[in-house]
Amino acid sequence: MLESEITPLQTEARRSQRVVARVRVKVIRPEESGGTLSEDTHTLVVNAHGALLTLAMKVRPGEILTLENWVGRERIQVRVVRLGKKVESKHEVAIEFSSPAPRFWHIDFPPEDWKAWQD
């Protein structure tokens, strides 16, 4: 390939538009003993299908958690999709809803025809 040739970046097809948003949430994990463990945290990125957030509590992919939004106090069950990089003492955790729930975030998403700005 010549130095002047440019290769387009590969992008994943997304089910819904991602928005960088810091939304306060509580993550609740059931314990085998019958109790629960909870952690107050915030999202890094949200979309209609889930979010990326940071957690100090240990979770594993496939695990079912309950997510509570501090704004409306709504609760929704989520599934851990993947664990990302560790930032300080917390891991980035990708979670997804069982079905789209864009109103859970209490934000207005950009219109579908908006394009992301590229450098």
pLDDT tens-digit series, residues 48-77: 999 999 999 999 999 999 999 998 899 999
Could you write out the DSSP letters of every residue in 52-91?
EEEESS---TT-EEEEEETTT--EEEEEEEEEEEEETTEE
Query: Mean of the pLDDT values across residues 29-41?
Result: 93
- DSSP at 3: T
Model pTM?
Answer: 0.77
Mean pLDDT of the chain: 83
- What integer pLDDT is reported at residue 32 of this predicted model? 86
Q: Which tokens hold the place of 68?
A: 């509570």
Higher pLDDT, 3 or 56: 56
CA angle 43/48/52 to nearest 5° reads: 25
Domains, the chain? 19-105 (2.40.10.220)
